[in-house]
Structure 1
């Protein structure tokens, strides 16, 4: 059994995690069982709804046992979607992909789809053209990444997510978490989430992001180093358009408006795939 699953294996006989230096509430292990065979545990999920402060409370689990906290949101039509919907065997390794190559490919595809469906293609992607503009420059952190993540988690619990559950995932870095559990939220856009995780790794390095919450088809990130000016935000918005075109197509309609209203100084990024 891979080393990364050992902390979760320990929880099967020690539900409170005391041997790992933890004090967990009632919860359960989720294993990959989509082919009818038992697989290694993928994550631990609390039974109860997360309260403000929960994410920060269990952040020490990352250092103590290599377990990364994340909020999971129930869906009205697919309750506990993580039970039976996860398939890490379908994912490659994020380290096998280069973020810029992934984004360039996504950008070209998104621009092509825009030109087919929209009469005002130029307005949608302005000030950019159909050519991939390249990666945005790194930003300087305005806050501690863990503190930012805890604040974003609390805001989601209070104002956005109806019944989030705390989960703990054995993964080395937060950027790899979606692929590590085999999350399939963007399946209609990209089935190999490891390619998206390669971008998340780059954002982790350049913007201090952390994966804070996952829903059935939604991803919430905290951002410790968000763009501070419109020019900086436009460069990041181009990457977001490549990463998740629905953010623009079904929300702000243009990259410029998205940059102005969703990115400048914002420590919370949300992505949703149709």
Structure 2
């Protein structure tokens, strides 16, 4: 048995040999570090940049291997430590399970919190409330509810592979990560990613929303950074009304996208129409 085969068997709950071991370059297992010591591994990480085409092969092999591939980015360009991945800055202790949650309820809660308090959790003063009103128009009366599922399904897996090629072409520093999970949404919880910790400490809630978007918009999680996500989208909104509803979901999920980006939902929403990629980042 090769070292790679041995490592992948440690990741899989079944302990069975992995169907993709022969495809992989040199790499190693990574686990969360507690008091300087690494505990149970949750991720296989390539030692070097992801070879072109490998993500697509691993993605196609996922049904047999049980290992979901992620393109992993470091904290910053040129980060030799490759944080948080190679340094084990992961946390599997604080997460619950994605299927515990109603994603629509999570988004409503995220919206209500993001539109009623400031960054310190204090009630908004009148000037802040007026500014917020401009940001969240046309939904001044409150949470509009989640957008309806897209009528056009597209090809979610094909869209994911296309985005992976595009992301790799733009960033040769990306590495391959493998997580024992049913898909990208579950992989975030399984590996203990904690990118949005300043906004949400239980990553299973993030996974629950991503699972819902997989169903409604044909999204797939392709790339994960220190506090960033890149999703392919097979069924994006096609008209303004739906795009505004989706923009409200994005604000509820990741308020920094709007409040530190476009500034208003009406400025943000047009970029979602027909968009085949959604990007999120948390400050």
Q: Give the TM-score normalised by the residue count of structure 1.
A: 0.88
CA contact (8 A) 2:26 2:46 kept: yes
Residue in 2 that maps onto 1:21: 19
How far is 1:185 from its partner? 0.3
Are residues 1:57 and 2:24 paired? no
CA contact (8 A) 1:208 1:224 kept: yes
Are residues 1:147 and 2:129 paired? no
Superposed, 1:156-195 pairs within 5 Å as 156-159=167-170, 161=171, 163-195=173-205
Match of 1:267 among 245, 265, 276: 276
Match of 1:120 among 121, 131, 136: 131
CA contact (8 A) 2:185 2:207 kept: yes
Match of 2:93 among 71, 78, 89: 89
Write the distance in 2 (CA, Å) between the matches of 1:61 and 1:112.
45
Are residues 1:79 and 2:88 paired? no
CA contact (8 A) 2:254 2:280 kept: yes
| RMSD, aligned CA | 2.2
Write the distance in 2 (CA, Å) between the matches of 1:62 and 1:105.
33
Change (3 A) 1:29 1:141: farther
Write the distance in 1 (CA, Å) between the matches of 2:84 and 2:38.
18
How far is 1:19 from its partner? 4.2
Deviations 1:168-215 (A, max 9, x none): 110023221111111110000011111111111111110111111110
Partner SS state of residue 110, structure 2: helix
Partner SS state of residue 186, structure 1: coil
Write the distance in 2 (CA, Å) between the matches of 1:271 and 1:190.
14
CA contact (8 A) 1:140 1:207 kept: no
Change (3 A) 1:253 1:38: closer
How far is 1:92 from its partner? 0.6
Residue in 1 that maps onto 2:114: 110
Deviations 1:111-149 (A, max 9, x none): 113655464322211111241111110013453111101
Write the distance in 1 (CA, Å) between the matches of 2:216 and 2:144.
17
Q: Give the TM-score normalised by the residue count of structure 2.
A: 0.86
Could you tell me which runs of 5 or more consecutive residues in structure 2 were left unpaired when the two chains were aligned. Answer: 119-123
Change (3 A) 1:102 1:142: closer
Residue in 2 that maps onto 1:238: 248
Residue in 2 that maps onto 1:15: none
Extract structure 1 runs of 4+ deviating beyond 4 A.
Answer: 6-9, 35-38
Q: How many residues align?
A: 262
CA contact (8 A) 2:150 2:216 kept: yes
Residue in 2 that maps onto 1:136: 147
